[in-house]
Amino acid sequence: IREAVACLREVVPGAAYEEAPVGGASYDAHGAPLTAATLDLARRADAVLLGAVGGPKWEPLDFSVRPERALLGLREALGLYANLRPAICQPALVSASSLRPEVVSGIDIMVVRELTGGIYFGKPRGVSKIDGERVGVNTLRYSESEIRRVAICAFEIARRRRKSLVSVDKANVLEATELWREVVTEVGRDYADVALSHMYVDNCAMQLVRNPKQFDVIVTTNLFGDILSDEAAMLTGSIGLLPSASLAGLGGRGGLYEPVHGSAPDIAGQGKANPLAAILSAAMLLRYSLNMVSEAGRIEEAVARVLGAGLRTPDIAGEGGAGTTLVGTQEMGERVRKEIKNL
């Protein structure tokens, strides 16, 4: 995050930055993963850049104060119902994927995940004793307005890309996603220029590794999107490269931007983490919350250039090899900023 903020300062020198603890850091300082003060600051900001929130230290904590609750609390409180997770295979890294280069080269997928509904938030939920045994319950619930607004967002994004949208559901088994399919189809009537198709989630999981290039934009429920976006991420070679945006619709202020990866506690504090996902999240922030499209492009181009020049943090270093240089977090950030200055 430090490297990402430094990149932002480079392209938007006049912006004001404020910091607040969230997740484990907030729990340590205040006994709660998300305080009213942090939430208030997030509400007032034009955009929020979020660092990963957890680690083994906080795993034994009660469910209600785990770092993840902060993430879910922010999403819910800020109404961030549309989660954009692009999976782009950088040309310099085609060989970093576990799939064959010809399968992944050129992939450019945008997963639009519903983020404030579905089984993550549905009630009833919890574990209780029924007839002498423990029973766990979660509820998959979607209203048509929840489906419609995220579908509109996905169609709008598809319209600005290659005009193809795949809606992913389990309509053959789950009624709530049968409704999902119906509502997405209804919304599609307003987007005759976008080719809409539907796919069951199991098939989509398979198609993503079989032939990922068939996908342009994918729109899906909260849980399916959680799973499929990790799968799409891995196609690109490293989850350390993937940014995300969580929005209360397109064109509004106040989005939240975070790398798709977690906190990687195994390498914390060693200066080895790949800052590129955070830096690319900053670029998305400029594009979607501040409408600073050319500044976003400068950051993205700078990232492509440092990768093209062979700079690698350990997660994307692979076997190393000719033309590549192993660098740490700070040097990677500095090199991106140097390229930004040249652009």
What SS3 class is residue 158? helix
Residues in the chain: 343
| CB nearer ligand IPM, residue 216 or residue 226 | 226
Total residues contacting ligand IPM by CB under 6 A comes to 3
Residue 226 known to be catalytic: yes
Site string for ligand IPM, 41-70 (x = CB under 6 A): ---------------------------x--
Q: For residues 302 and 299, give the distance between their C-alpha atoms in angstroms, rounded to a whole number.
A: 5
Tell me if 178 contacts ligand IPM by CB under 6 A. no
| Sign, Cα dihedral of 126, 128, 131, 136 | positive
Q: For residues 56 and 257, give the distance between their C-alpha atoms in angstroms, rounded to a whole number.
A: 23
Site string for Mg ion, 65-84 (x = CB under 5 A): --------------------
Site string for ligand IPM, 226-255 (x = CB under 6 A): x-----------------------------
Site string for Mg ion, 198-227 (x = CB under 5 A): ----------------------------x-
Partner interacting with residue 182 (select from Mg ion, ligand IPM, none; CB below 5-8 Å by kind):
none
Residue 315 known to be catalytic: no
Residue 338 known to be catalytic: no
| CB nearer ligand IPM, residue 169 or residue 226 | 226
How far is the first Cα of the chain from the last one, in angstroms, to the nearest whole number?
Answer: 22
Tokens 């993937």 sit on residue: 242
Catalytic residue, chosen from 142, 169, 170, 288, is 170
What SS3 class is residue 113? strand
Partner interacting with residue 144 (select from Mg ion, ligand IPM, none; CB below 5-8 Å by kind):
none
Query: Residue 105 has which token pair?
Result: 């080269």
Q: For residues 238 and 75, give the distance between their C-alpha atoms in angstroms, rounded to a whole number.
A: 25
> Residue 126 Cβ, how far from ligand IPM at the closest point, in Å?
17
Type and span of the H or E element at 284: helix 276-288
Q: For residues 21 and 33, give the distance between their C-alpha atoms in angstroms, rounded to a whole number.
A: 8
Q: For residues 314 and 317, give the distance between their C-alpha atoms in angstroms, rounded to a whole number.
A: 5
CB 95 within 8 A of CB 59: no
| CB nearer Mg ion, residue 226 or residue 339 | 226
| CB nearer ligand IPM, residue 68 or residue 331 | 68
Catalytic residue, chosen from 81, 120, 257, 288, is 120
Q: What is the DSSP string of 232-285?
A: HHHHTS-GGG-EEEEESSTT-S-EEEEESS---GGGTTTT-S--HHHHHHHHHH
> Residue 68 Cβ, how far from ligand IPM at the closest point, in Å?
4
Residue 202 known to be catalytic: yes
| CB nearer ligand IPM, residue 52 or residue 94 | 52
Residue 170 known to be catalytic: yes
Type and span of the H or E element at 342: helix 329-342
> What residues make contact with Mg ion under the rule CB under 5 A?
226
> What residues make contact with ligand IPM under the rule CB under 6 A?
68, 71, 226
Q: Which residues are catalytic?
A: 120, 170, 202, 226, 230
